[in-house]
């Protein structure tokens, strides 16, 4: 279960940076 969380953290970071780079 903890491995799943560790996998999700970089995924959230990627989505965050992608939405931040996208001009709204």
Residue-wise DSSP of the chain: -HHHHHHHHHHHHHHHHHHHHS--
Whole-number Å distance between alpha carbons of 11 and 19: 12
Read off the pTM: 0.51
pLDDT band at 24 (very low <50, low <70, confident <90, very high): low
Query: Mean pLDDT across the stretch 1-20?
Result: 92
Query: How far apart are alpha carbons 24 and 20 in whole angstroms?
Result: 9
Share of the chain above pLDDT 90, in %: 67
């Amino acid at each position: 279960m903890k491995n799943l969380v560790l996998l999700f953290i970089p995924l959230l970071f990627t989505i965050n940076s992608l939405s931040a780079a996208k001009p709204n």
